[in-house]
Amino acid sequence: QSVLTQPPSVSGAPGQRVTISCTGSSSNIGAGYDVHWYQQLPGAAPKLLISGDSNRPSGIPDRFSGSKSGASASLAITGLQAEDEADFYCQSYDSSLSGYVFGTGTKVTVL
Amino acid sequence: EVQLVESGGGLVQAGRSLRLSCAASGFSFDDYAMHWVRQVPGKGLEWVSSISWHSGYIGYADSVKGRFTISRDNAKKSLYLQMNSLRPEDTALYYCAKDIGSSGRGGSWFDPWGQGTLVTVSS
């Protein structure tokens, strides 16, 4: 079961900015656990996009940025490109479940 | 280059067992915790299990606790998932993923991931 809630889909025209929310609770994001984001292109394995709330691994364009406030986090994509069409997942840790949790996933469509 | 290659998936009847393997290369396997994550085709990601570098810490999702066993062989640079009493709801693509640290406990993330091995459980 997913304990982190994301919108099922977001869309935008090329060049636009879109944001994806990730809402948790006091036992995960709200407890201070870091949030990480993954991009899953069609037919591929998930790939790390953002770690530790807002850090981009080497090779990830600065069009992608992450933030966190309270029990929620957000991923922003600026200058949307056709190649950004993918599913995006947030991930954290839940102290009540004593395990890792993923968001419900968001499909990004470039119009 | 870090590589993770899963194997062992297949079609199995409900109630039977299956053992998944993940062969690691390109990094010091015994320095890192490892994880299994699964994904029902077309659906979201679900964490399954984690193991620390020396197997001192092991964690399971409630959905598999008591049925699945994670293990590792550092000498063989391999991660395993023994799956017993399989259910149709265990049908998924199973990924192994490397931790960025050694403990496997909270706060960590998964990078990189293997390509996955498909497990199909028929009723």
Mean pLDDT of the B25-54 span: 97
Q: Which of A48, A93, A102 is facing B107, going by the closest CB pair?
A: A93
DSSP code at position B100: S
Contact B47 A104 (CB under 8 A): no
Contact at 8 Å (CB) between A68 and A37? no
8 Å CB contact of A99 and B116: no
One-letter amino acid for residue A25 of the chain: S
Query: How many angstroms separate the Cα of B69 from the Cα of each of B10, B41, B58, B86?
Result: 18, 23, 9, 12
Which residues of B have a CB under 8 Å from any CB of A? 35, 37, 44-47, 50, 59-62, 95, 100, 105-116
Tallying the residues shown for chain B, one arrives at: 123
What is the spatial distance between Cα B36 and Cα B50, in angstroms, rounded to a whole number? 6
- Integer CA distances (angstroms), B117 to A16, A34, B108, in order: 36, 28, 23
**Rg (alpha carbons) of chain B, rounded to whole number:** 13
DSSP one-letter code for A57: P
User: In angstroms, what CA-CA distances link A28 with A19, A98, B47?
Assistant: 21, 10, 14
Res. A1 pLDDT band, cuts 50 70 90: low
Positive/negative CA dihedral, A105, A19, A55, A59 = positive
In this predicted structure, the answer to whether residue B83 has a pLDDT above a threshold of 70 is yes
What does the pLDDT average to over B25-42?
97
Q: Are A46 and B47 a contacting pair at CB < 8 A?
A: no
Distance CA A107, CA A94 (A): 24
**Tens digits of residue pLDDT in A51-98:** 999 999 999 999 999 999 999 999 999 999 999 999 999 999 999 999
Number of CB pairs < 8 Å for A and B?
Answer: 66
β partners of residue B87:
none
Residue B104 above 90 pLDDT?
A: no
Nearest to A77 by CA among A22, A5, A15: A15
CA distances from A78 to A12, A14, A15, A66 (A): 10, 9, 7, 11
